[in-house]
Amino acid sequence: MDALKKFFPFSFGAKDVAALIIKIVLYLVVGIIIGVVLGLVGKIPVVGIITGIVGAIVELYILCGIVLTVLDYLKILK
């Protein structure tokens, strides 16, 4: 559990529904911003492959963060 808190520090500590929604929306906004930046940089031919890989890793991180936030809110994680 401590390793998860190291990699996903923002995913833990939602006490009420409002905090849960704020954390999820923040994850989504950061994901959209990073996606737009990587999309713009990805138009460069040589860098396109690297940005595709980085984009997939960022999307996976955001998905895991949202899932951990919900699981922590529902008190499934101890």
Which tens digit of pLDDT belongs to each residue from 11-31?
A: 888 889 999 999 999 999 999
Given this model, what pLDDT does residue 37 score? 95
Q: How confident is the model at residue 61 (pLDDT cuts 50, 70, 90)?
A: very high
Given this model, what pLDDT does residue 66 score? 96
Say yes or no to pLDDT of 34 above 90.
Answer: yes
Given this model, what pLDDT does residue 2 score? 82
Decide: 51 and 38 in contact? Cβ < 8 Å.
Answer: yes
The structure tokens listed for 28 are 């989504």
Helix ranges restricted to H, the chain: 2-7, 17-41, 48-73
Decide: 35 and 56 in contact? Cβ < 8 Å.
Answer: no
Decide: 4 and 68 in contact? Cβ < 8 Å.
Answer: yes
CA 73 – CA 32 distance, rounded (Å): 24
Q: Is 0.85 topped by the overall pTM?
A: yes
